[in-house]
Amino acid sequence: MKVLFHSSDHYRPNSGRPYDFLPFRFMRWPDGDVLVTNEAGEYLFLTEQGFAALHEKRLSASSDEYRNLKAKHFLTDGDPFLSLELLATKVRTKKAFLEGFTKLHLFVVTLRCDHSCPYCQVSRVTQDKVRYDMTRETAARAIDLLFCSPSQALKVEFQGDEALLNFDLIRWCVEQIRDRNAAERRDIDFVIATNLVR
């Protein structure tokens, strides 16, 4: 993949050019089309002729290619600094999940359930098979991992097939987490995924 990037001198307003490029990459495909991508994850396929017209600054402002390239921040015909800021905002928004990438922690406390819902992803076992419940030992290790997260805000979601079939463990986990959090001082939310039958 090749990179088309210009120095900061290129981003001077009022350059007299019909449009300016914003940073993007491109790669030629076997069928002759050209894939263009940018840091925000935007992409377009251009024909060989369309890419040549883009590169040589011959694209018509009334063409669909031009409008699509402008909308996705591959080129700008206005203030380049403003366009770069908009592109940077797109990238920041897209990558915002990294700030708290370990916020959500799932505790699958049991595989037991009294239903066979077709959409459920869990390998269900019958209610009498308590050996498929999470143990306190496993839950304690999960709580240790929870507090290894660098996130200030944490969410603990208790799941299962039917999580409430192991409610004693859920209560124990909540008590342990709250006790430990007295020193940690994190913002913790608790969620229970349930079919509300229990």
Residue 100's nearest CA partner among 15, 189, 29 is 189
Radius of gyration over alpha carbons of the chain, in Å?
27
Domain count, the chain: 2
**Polymer length of the chain:** 198
Encode burial over 29-57: b for 16+ CB neighbours within 10 A, e otherwise. Answer: eeeeebebbbbbebebebeeebbebbeee
Distance of alpha carbon 51 from alpha carbon 71, whole angstroms? 16
Distance of alpha carbon 187 from alpha carbon 198, whole angstroms? 28
Tell me what pLDDT residue 191 has.
Answer: 96
Residue 79 within a domain: yes
Tell me what pLDDT residue 178 has.
Answer: 97
Q: Are residues 137 and 68 in the same domain?
A: no
Tell me what pLDDT residue 122 has.
Answer: 66
Tell me what pLDDT residue 8 has.
Answer: 43
The per-residue pLDDT string of the chain (198 residues; one tens digit each, 9 = 90 and over) reads: 555 544 444 444 444 568 999 999 999 999 999 999 998 999 999 999 999 999 999 999 999 999 999 999 999 998 888 888 999 999 988 887 777 678 899 999 999 987 877 777 767 788 888 899 999 999 999 999 999 998 899 999 999 889 999 999 999 999 999 999 999 999 999 999 988 776
Residue 168 within a domain: yes
Contact 34, 46 (CB under 8 A): yes
Q: Are residues 129 and 169 in the same domain?
A: yes
**Where is the domain boundary, 94, 116, 143?**
94
Q: Are residues 20 and 40 in the same domain?
A: yes
Q: Are residues 152 and 181 in the same domain?
A: yes
Strand 187-192 relative to strand 153-160, pairing: parallel
Q: Are residues 113 and 148 in the same domain?
A: yes
Q: Are residues 89 and 114 in the same domain?
A: no
Q: Are residues 9 and 76 in the same domain?
A: yes
Q: Are residues 15 and 90 in the same domain?
A: yes
The type of residue at 67 is: R
Tell me what pLDDT residue 6 has.
Answer: 46
Residue 197 within a domain: no
Residue 198 within a domain: no
Tell me what pLDDT residue 16 has.
Answer: 52
Residue 29 structural domain: 2-94
Q: Are residues 106 and 137 in the same domain?
A: yes
Q: Are residues 86 and 111 in the same domain?
A: no
Contact 60, 85 (CB under 8 A): no
Tell me what pLDDT residue 123 has.
Answer: 74
Residue 50 within a domain: yes
Distance of alpha carbon 76 from alpha carbon 164, whole angstroms? 55
Helix (H, G, I), strand (E, B) or coil at 130: helix
Residue 146's nearest CA partner among 136, 157, 162, 137 is 157
Distance of alpha carbon 87 from alpha carbon 56, whole angstroms? 22
Give this prediction's pTM. Answer: 0.54
